[in-house]
Amino acid sequence: MATSSILRRAFLYVPSSSPKFLQKTYNLTADTVCYDLEDSVAPAKKPEARDNLRKFLSDKRPPNITELCVRINDVSTGLALDDLSSVLKADHIDAIAVPKVGSASDMHFITDVIRHQLPDRHPSTPSADSNPVKIIALIETAEAIMNLKEICQASPYISGLVFAAEDFARDLSITRTPSLTEFLYARSAIVTAARAFNLPSTIDLVCTKFRGEEGMKTLEEECLQGKQMGFNGKQCIHPTQVETAQRVFAPGKEEVEYSVRILIADSKATASGRGAFTLDGKMIDAPVVGKARMVVKRAELCGFDVKAVEEEWKDQEPE
C-alpha cells in the first residue's frame, strides 16, 4: 500500500450513545477510535448521542489514541448534515467515516459540508498546523464496488476505504462463512482501487468472534488473511481485539530484518554498478527493494527500532 504517516491497524468502534463507553476511551491505546453515530445508536437516541460526542470531543483529548474519527449516518438518511454540523464543531476530530457510500455524489455532499464548515482544514492548503480532515469511505454494497474508481477520485479529503462485510452480504443475499471466500472479489477490488489511487488505508471486515481463546484465534487468522490480501488494518468491535490487530498489521521482526538486509545489500550492489543480486538464494531486483523500503517505513511508524537492526546487519553483502 501507499507509504503514509497514517496508521489504522486497528479501527475500533465505540457507540456514542453511552457516556460510559466514551469515557473508557481515555484508557485505551489504539491507532484509530471511531465514535459511532450510526448502527450502534437507536434512532431515538441519535440527537443525544450527537450532543454527547460533541461535548466529549471538545474536552481533553484521549492521550493514547492517534486518530479520533466519527462515523456519521449515511447521506440517504437525512441525518448526515446534522451529524456533521455538530461534530465538526468539536475541538478534537481527525476523520469522518461515511457509511454506505454508493457513488461519488455521496462523497461530494460530505466534502462540501466539511469545506464550508472547516475551510482552514482543507487538504489543498496543507501546512504543519492545518491537519486536514480525512474522509474514510465504507464500502457496503454492490453499487459501491462497481463505483470504486469514482469514489476514490471524488474528494481531496478521502484517506481510506473500509469493507463492511455484513451489509455487503445482505445486499447480495449471501451467507458469510468462516473461509470468507464469498467476499474475495469485493475485498480484492477494494485493496486494488485503494492502491491505484494512492489511498493510505484499506481496513478489512469485522471479526464477529472475539470471546475466549477460539475467538482470538479466529481474529488472528482473519487479520493474517486480510494482510496477505493487501489490507493494512482491521475493524474492531471490542477493545480486546485491538492488540491483535495492531500486532498482525505491523511488520514482524523477521520481515523487518529481511527488509533491512535487502536495503543494505542493495546500497552496496548499486555502488558497484549491479542492478540485481541474490540474498539467501533469492533474486532481488527493483520491485523487491521497493517493497522492502515500504516495510521498513511502516516498521518505523509502528515504533520498531530499525536503527538497531541496521547496525546488526551493517556488514550484509549482496550475494
255 is known to lie in a ligand binding site: no
- Nearest C-alpha neighbor of 180 from the set 216, 247, 233, 228: 228
Residues 6+ apart with CB under 8 A from 256: 295, 296, 299, 304, 306, 309
204 is known to lie in a ligand binding site: no
The residues carrying an active-site annotation are 285
Residues 6+ apart with CB under 8 A from 164: 99, 100, 138, 139, 140, 205, 206
Cα–Cα distance for residue pair 51/145, rounded to 1 Å:
33
Amino acid at 218: T
- Nearest C-alpha neighbor of 7 from the set 87, 111, 95, 122: 95
140 is known to lie in a ligand binding site: yes
Cα–Cα distance for residue pair 161/98, rounded to 1 Å:
10
Angle value at C-alpha 183, between 227 and 185, nearest 5 degrees: 85
- Nearest C-alpha neighbor of 134 from the set 301, 5, 296: 5
Q: Where in the chain does DSSP place strands (E)?
A: 10-15, 30-36, 65-71, 95-98, 134-139, 158-163, 201-204, 233-236, 277-279, 282-284
Cα–Cα distance for residue pair 71/15, rounded to 1 Å:
10
Amino acid at 114: I
Grid coordinates representing 91? 475541538
Amino acid at 197: F
Residue numbers belonging to the annotated binding site: 71, 140, 167
Residue numbers belonging to the annotated binding site for substrate: 71, 140
Residue numbers belonging to the annotated binding site for Mg(2+): 140, 167
